[in-house]
Structure 1
Amino acid sequence: MDKDYLLWAKENQSNALIPNALLEPRHSHEGVGAALVVRAVLYFERAYETSVRLALADCFDEFRAATGDVFKFVWHNGKAAQTADKAKPMRVLAASLGENDCFDFQYMSGEQPSDACLWSFRVFGMPAWEEKMGTRGIDVLAFSWPMVAVQDNPDAFARLFFNAAQRLNAVHGHAGHAINLSPVARQQNESTEFWISQMMPGTDVGPPTANAVRDLKGQIKTVGWLTAIDVAMLGKAGGVRGLRGELPPSWFSLNDYGAGVVIRAGVWPESGAAVTEGGKSFPPPAYVVLDRALRLVRVNGLDVLQQGTVNGDAPVYNTFSSTNAWLSRFETSGDGLLAAKAALLDTPPLDLSNALPNPL
């Protein structure tokens, strides 16, 4: 993360909140439609089991211990949003709900429950009957911090990601720059997400709970600042030795979370935003290197990442070709890979202060 970008992010944090339907003139611009954040997404199984639900409550407690009391509203199991201070605690519901009840929460820090927000904690847990069908995908945990908070303490965010992967025996996951969208107006704000992703190629796109992504097993959607892969994918990618041969150790760490490994690519997440006014955006070099190393487990194609609005004029990733172009945005030639590895020399290396548990 370039120092100039860090300074810009800190000075312009208010610009991280974007009006609703910014690029959709047919829709209201009231409220916050999109928020620029650093977001973690982890995919796991058996959210209907009490032990897993309590592990999710542990993740939530750790999040709150790190961030303080940042949430104002919570959406739960399809009900109307409640103020966070009046909602039943997740831990209580984890012990009281039946296995055939959904375990679905979305904690929000916005001024209104419909606002996209900077701080968020989202659990998408299917009931037992649905998950046991074997055709409905797997469960999701997603949480976010403002960019400035991660800038100030990247290691705390990385530890949250690692600890959650360990508690949940995550199948796969990733973390890095992303755009949170309004929980009630996603399609109206997808064009904003598209526009930002064009300026910041390191940004994740699409809802973490999308069926096409939850269906992935043995493959990942994308790489990021933090990437989790299970043991089976690790073997397919060449194992620890194979990855160590591809990933320069001064910029990449590998840490065993039990069910797999977390790969950290650098001190901070990278956006790929242009470093000078009028300059060109670029794929973050660390992600280019990691994408090549994990190419055998990164998916080739998906259903569309976005839907967009009816009769909307602004572009979105609503075709197979545009979606697959986004998925392959870090692919490069042999010379491009060498250039990306050389460019790592201009980025801060990891040191002992950045260490996560169980290094490999």
Structure 2
Amino acid sequence: MDFFEKFKHAEYDFTYGAEDDPEHHNALQVGLVAWFYLDKGYTKENRARIAEAWQLYHNEFGGKLRWGYIDDPNKPLDYNVKLTKILKKYISDSFGESFFFDWYSDAGFRYASYYSVSVGSMAGWYESIHKNVSYFGFYIPVEELNRKDFLKALLSQFCNILQPLHGLMGLGIQQCYEKERYQHLEYEICNEFKGVDVINSNTDKKMRTGLRAVNWYTFFSNEWLNKLGGIQYLRSALSNPSIEIINYDNGVIIRAGEWPELGWIKDNPYPELYVKVNKVLKPIRAPEIGSLGYGSIAGEIRFDRNSTARWLARFDVDLPPFTAL
């Protein structure tokens, strides 16, 4: 089966309809996700970078967006021409202060969206004290993989604009705003599909200590590259024709294969290229990250600190030699 056939075959196991209208909306689904983690996102220069990244996403996918909020989710807004004309300047002018937004293609706090763009950046004084990171992220549907070369070029553009500490792009859970309602389902999905990414807090200071995860695309700054041993070491350690290493202005992008992998336990739980990349990047992986789930409220199983640690190390396995690619 090709990628799209495999995805369709597994889709029932990672798609959950919305509570009030499961025929027309999902509460939880899997698609392509991208997350960029940023240092000092509050500065004037970096807010301008975030504004430029939003503009890039808007130029490519903004026609799909319908609804969202700026700073206060209790004051939802339509994503329309009037707003988008002023949003870039609004983001740039927010430097120094906290700034958050989420924009979605499906309107509703409990509906997941195939297209979405998100930003979170604390005020300068807060980051200086608590050491949180800022983030920029987006969702797109897997159908966009019909333009793989375009996506590769687009990711390089985002990396050049944002200059992230690190991040990833690949298959992940596309959450609704009220994601905490469905964390028990996320736990089930991630135990069945090891290639599917999931997030909880995207501002966790522990992400300053290293990479959060590997995925189809994994990227990081030259600072982390140098700690790893430099570009020549990386190319030697990942010398495989199916693994592509792409330089950008201030870092490197690694693509683990021609297509993303679900890591389905029924099929291929340990995709060989993901395991290989994970092994090479393990020295610069964060030793721990914040829990991927909150506490149980009715006996349901969610991620806790221990299961989060196991998820972080899910590709720490030894594969048999001479495995066919």
Q: What TM-score do you get using the length of structure 1 for normalisation?
A: 0.80
Counterpart selection for 2:76 from 66, 81, 95: 81
Kindly state the Cα deviation for residue 29 of structure 1 after the two structures are TM-superposed.
7.6
Aligned to 2:196: 203
Whole-Å separation in 1 of the counterparts to 2:83 and 2:110 = 17
Q: Aligned-pair distance for 1:155?
A: 2.6
RMSD: 2.5
| 2:274 pairs with 1:283 | no
1:236-285 Cα offsets, whole Å, 9 max, x none, are 222212222221341122222222211111222111125xxxx3441221
The correspondence for 1:222, drawn from 213, 222, 229, is 213
Q: CA deviation digits over 1:174-221, x for unaligned, max 9?
A: 1111112221x222111221111122110112225152xx43224111
Residues 218 and 257 of structure 1: CA distance in aligned 2, closer, same or farther (over 3 Å): farther
Verify the 8 A CA contact 2:193 2:264 in the aligned structure 1. Answer: yes
**Residues 187 and 242 from structure 1, CA distance in 2 versus in 1: closer, same or farther, beyond 3 angstroms?**
same
Deviation at 1:36, TM superposition (A): 1.1
Cα distance, 1:132 vs structure 2: 2.8
Please point out which of 292, 315, 320 is paired with 1:330: 315
Contact 2:134 2:203 in 1 (8 A): no
User: Which residue in 1 is equivalent to 2:176?
Assistant: 182
Q: What is the deviation of 1:48?
A: 2.2
How far 1:303 moved relative to its partner? 3.0
When normalised by structure 2's length, the TM-score is: 0.88
Counterpart for residue 311 of structure 1? 298
SS in 2 for 1:132: helix
Q: 1:270·1:284 contact (CA, 8 Å) conserved in 2?
A: yes
Structure 1 residues 277-326: Cα deviation after superposition (integer angstroms, max 9, x where no partner): xx34412211100011111111233332111541142x2212x2211111
* Contact 2:44 2:96 survives alignment (8 Å): no
Number of aligned positions between the proteins:
320
Contact preservation (8 Å) 1:229, 1:262? yes
Task: Go from structure 1 to structure 2 and tell me whether the alpha carbon gap of 1:73 and 1:16 turns closer, same or farther (over 3 Å shift).
Answer: farther
Determine the structure 2 residue equivalent to 1:349: none
Task: Tell me the SS of whatever aligns to 1:69.
Answer: helix
- 2:224 equivalent to 1:233: yes
The structure-2 alpha-carbon separation of the partners of 1:60 and 1:210, relative to structure 1 and needing over 3 Å to count, comes to: closer
Following the alignment from structure 1 to structure 2, what is the Cα–Cα distance between the partners of residues 107 and 295?
A: 33
| TM-fit CA distance, 1:62 | 2.0
- Distance in 2 (CA, whole Å) between partners of 1:165 and 1:242 is 22
CA contact (8 A) 1:40 1:176 kept: yes
Q: 3-state DSSP class of the match of 1:187?
A: helix
Q: Give the whole-Å Cα distance in 1 for the aligned partners of 2:63 and 2:283.
A: 41
Aligned to 1:162, the other structure's residue is in SS state helix
Structure 1 match to 2:280? 293
Does the C-alpha gap of structure 1 residues 324 and 15 become closer, same or farther in structure 2, counting only changes over 3 Å?
A: closer
- Report % sequence identity: 21
Task: Indicate if the aligned counterparts of 1:59 and 1:160 stay in contact, CA closer than 8 A.
Answer: no
**Hey, what's the Cα distance between the residues in 2 that align with 1:332 and 1:113?**
38
